[in-house]
Structure 1
């Protein structure tokens, strides 16, 4: 039997991610699992003709961003979605896919539940797919949730 004790639900606070988080929360309750919620902040990459001339952001800028994200994670769950055994939140800096895969490895996550944004065509080629990369690189199974825009029926 497969034991799922630790579920990771990365979030960018979008409506797509909220739907996946709802699934993850419900699964964690049903399986008696711990729920880990991760938000990844993108590092600012200088662009322009001469990156050496770009202003450097002060350290408090990064700390304020991190503090805002951590505060948002505290209220991201709706109590009606279920009650996981425990909930752990974290904020990381970096590229989304890499940070999520690294966090899943570090925390020995058993299942990642992530939203797909449903991009196709040129936008998918240009922007890539974070979910697709996580499916390829994660150290555990990945459940992708496509937001159809419809409310999920109560599966009770």
Structure 2
């Protein structure tokens, strides 16, 4: 029988990840699993002709950014989505795919539930796919949730 004890739902606070989080909550309730919800922040990397001339962000900028993300994470889950055994939220720093894969490995996650934007063609080639990299590199199964396409007017 297939079972899950720890489910990870990365969130970038988009409507796509909101939908994936809804699935993750329902699955966590159904399997009596812990739900881990993370958000990955990337450091600002100076670019330009001379990176040494770029302003360096003060430490409090990063602290405030992390604090805002942590507060937003706490308010992501809606009670009607289901009641996981427990909910752990975390803010990580780094490249999104690597941070999610590392978190999953370090926390012995059994399933990652992630949103995919469903890009194809040139936009997929240019923008890459965080979800695709996570599927390839994750230490556990990955369930990708594709949101319904927005209707054009």
Residues 1-156 of structure 1: pairs in structure 2 closer than 5 A: 1-149=1-149
Gapped regions of structure 2 (runs ≥ 5):
none
| Alignment length (residue pairs) | 150
SS in 2 for 1:3: coil
1:62-85 residue CA offsets vs partner (Å, 9 max, x unmatched) = 000000000001110010000000
Tell me the TM-score normalised to structure 1 length: 0.94
CA RMSD, Structure 1 to Structure 2 (Å): 1.0
Gapped regions of structure 1 (runs ≥ 5):
151-156
Cα deviation, residue 149, structure 1 = 4.6
Tell me the TM-score normalised to structure 2 length: 0.96
Alpha-carbon distance between aligned partners in 1 of 2:145 and 2:31, rounded to the nearest angstrom? 18
Cα deviation, residue 53, structure 1 = 1.2
Cα deviation, residue 39, structure 1 = 0.2
Alpha-carbon distance between aligned partners in 2 of 1:122 and 1:21, rounded to the nearest angstrom? 28
Cα deviation, residue 2, structure 1 = 3.0
Structure 1 residue runs of 4 or more that deviate by more than 6 Å after TM superposition: none
Alpha-carbon distance between aligned partners in 2 of 1:33 and 1:80, rounded to the nearest angstrom? 17
SS in 1 for 2:66: helix
